[in-house]
Amino acid sequence: MSIVDSIHNPLATKSLIATLTKYDGNKEDYDTFLQQLQLYVRGNDKALNTNEKKITVALSYIKGGSATTWANGFTDEKLESRDFGMWNDFLDKFKKQFGKTTTQSNAITELKNLYQGKLTATEYWMQANALVGRAKLKKTKDFIFLK
């Protein structure tokens, strides 16, 4: 793109994607960060046109808390080997470290500690299911009634 093109079309060189919020390993922020990261990479595909550029940008936003330890270890390994690998492999490693299994186990723990009034979530749903059965309602057919 020439200088003339960027003068006539300033958006041609400026990204419209918001910059990322740094990720510090906080489990509540994982899903949002991952979505932001993927949108950022897609929205800046002309500048981030190699696996190494995508990964190094991602690593630059993974700072603070437990995330720093993981990012530093990953960076040291890749700088030594001089091969940052593939973007999708990086995402898989990031997801394995911070993602679903951690999020899923946290959700299970929260469910175990969830109360409906004085009942635990398990007790509440056992009663709800028993009442649905006693009323001879079908969860799929009578779903509107069950709201």
Read off the pLDDT of residues 48-103 as tens digits, 9 standing for 90 and up. Answer: 999 999 999 999 999 998 899 999 999 999 999 999 999 999 999 999 899 866 56
Q: Are 94 and 34 in contact (CB under 8 A)?
A: yes
Residues listed for the chain: 147
Residue that wins the pLDDT comparison between 2 and 42:
42
Structure confidence at residue 59 (pLDDT): 97
pLDDT of residue 68: 94
Mean pLDDT across 122-126: 80
Residue 1, pLDDT > 50, answer no
Q: Could you tell me the maximum CA-CA distance found in the chain, to the nearest angstrom?
A: 75
Phi, psi of 16 (to 5 degrees): -95, 0
Instruction: Give residue 11's pLDDT band: very low, low, confident or very high (50, 70, 90).
Output: very low
Q: What is the predicted pLDDT for the residue at 77?
A: 94
Contact yes or no for 6/13 (Cβ under 8 A): yes
Radius of gyration of the chain (CA): 23
What is this structure's pTM? 0.62
pLDDT of residue 138: 72
Mean pLDDT of the 2-30 span = 71
In the chain, the amino acid numbered 81 is S
